[in-house]
Amino acid sequence: MTIKPLIILPDPLLREISRPVETVDAALLKLADDMLETMYDAPGIGLAAVQIGVPRRLLVIDVAREDEPKSPQVFINPQIVKSSDERSVYEEGCLSIPDYYAEVERPATVTVKHIGRDGKEHLIEADGLLATCLQHEIDHLNGVLFIDYISRLKREMVIRKFTKASKGKAV
């Protein structure tokens, strides 16, 4: 497994809509394993393929607590097919927007259709942190960032800060 470099805001790739995965093969599963390794190293609880420069509809998640065994999950071509009217608020962060956190309101529960590592279609009902994480990562596949849910003023400040920081880096 290989730790991949993360794409950081304001990289325009983060705003692209990811392409569907056509085939679940050894190369895709290796990519998923590399993504898990990258996510654990960061450390984070979710990662979309686009965050490592691969605009494909693939994401990995592990919401196990630190005192619990790892519980990695792979979602290929995930799609939210149902979401609750009930809302929940979590403080979210993002590996592509390091060290910035904001409260985001989302549906409290979601049902997600996806293909698993086994190449078969699955349906998962999620609530709590898993529901939030799935929505956050699926947003990435659609070119949406969690900062899109905060006020325009705060969002523009964050984008300005990261744009300025990216221009200050040596190429």
- Please tell us whether the domain made up of 12-167 is placed in CATH 3.90.45.10: yes
pLDDT for 171 equals 45
**Per-residue buried b or exposed e for 3-37, using 16+ beta carbons within 10 Å of the residue's own CB:** ebebbbbbbeebeeebeebeebeeebeebbbbbbb
Share of the chain above pLDDT 90, in %: 95
Cite the active site residues.
137
66 pLDDT above the threshold of 90: no
Confidence bin at 169 (pLDDT 50/70/90): low
Q: pLDDT tens, 80-90?
A: 999 999 999 99
- Mean pLDDT over 130-157 rounds to 97
pLDDT for 168 equals 77
Domain residue spans of the chain: 12-167
Q: pLDDT tens, 118-143?
A: 999 999 999 999 999 999 999 999 99
